[in-house]
Amino acid sequence: MRITYWFCLLSVFALPARAERVLIPGAEITLSAKYLPPPFPEAGPAAAVLLLHGCNGVGQTTGLNPRPDKMASLLQEKGYAVLMLDSFSGRDLQEICSVPLSKRTLSPRMRAEDARHALDWLKTRKEIDGDRLGVIGWSHGATSILALLGQKQPSVRVAVGFFPSCSSYLLRDKFQVTAPLLLLVGEDDDWTPAEPCRALVAKSDQPTFRLVTYPETFHDFDNASLKADDKKRLVLGGTSVSVGFNPEASSDAYRRTFKWLSPWLDLNRMPVVSPSYRHSGAGLGKTIGP
């Protein structure tokens, strides 16, 4: 019943018409974004969530993907402001999915800097509580979250990453996240595999660094524009990868996302974190982490 409820939410919400285009000064370029202010301004300064797109950007040149707009609408239902950052248009990029890694001109580290500027912009808004900022990213955007939270001062309270690439961070002698981070990955993902993320979480050994994996689930599992449970093969950057929408995994992942955000972003809730805490892992996904 809970999964059905969340899937229905994903199916019916559309991005509110009051979203506005904004310009954010970056390190070397001006970044564009869509900003959705808090839906309940009378409640006072609100929490805000930054959304980081994947390698297909916000223009969706590799196919329609409604998830950023749907996620934004769900966040608005919770009372959060939303900033949907575009790291591509200011660099004259449309997508980088088809570009081999060795030839990409935009790295997760650069996008982490974009995120820092976007978070600083949010802190200047009088309607935003600068102490309650979160970030959610997909694929390349989720990998950028790892770069952001690997810094000493990420300026964010909580984060969620859908199917990031964890391999390069696993090569570091020590990797620690500086804010609570939940990773959500399909166990059959052959584009950004789950195993390096599993090893990274285990190596970091932090109580607020978690991984949830989904059996028989591929990359892009929350992309509702794909046919349900129909694996699609793509050749990107000379590599063949699989993508596929899994409605059950998607619904469970979104439920976990909001459960993860709430203790750090909702007023009058205090997170209780203990080194001895262990998640039961009950439910659809398998939980890895302290």
The helix or strand, by DSSP H or E, that contains position 287, with its residue range, turns out to be: strand 286-288
What secondary structure does DSSP assign to 122-151, as a single string? HHT-TTEEEEEEEEEEETHHHHHHHHHHTS
Q: Domains (ranges, CATH) in the chain?
A: 2-269+280-288 (3.40.50.1820)
Q: What is the pLDDT along the chain (290 residues), one digit of tens a residue?
A: 444 444 444 444 444 557 899 999 988 899 999 999 999 999 999 999 999 999 988 854 444 467 889 999 999 999 999 999 999 999 989 888 888 888 898 999 999 999 999 999 999 999 999 999 999 999 999 999 999 999 887 689 999 999 999 999 999 999 999 999 999 999 999 999 999 999 999 999 999 999 999 999 999 999 988 888 778 888 666 678 899 999 999 999 999 999 999 999 998 664 544 433 233 333 466 665 54
pLDDT for the residue 285? 67
pLDDT for the residue 238? 67
CA–CA separation, 178 vs 149, rounded Å?
A: 5
Q: How many CA atoms lie within 13 A of 194 on its CB side?
A: 21
Q: Strand, helix or coil at 170?
A: helix
CA–CA separation, 258 vs 79, rounded Å?
A: 12
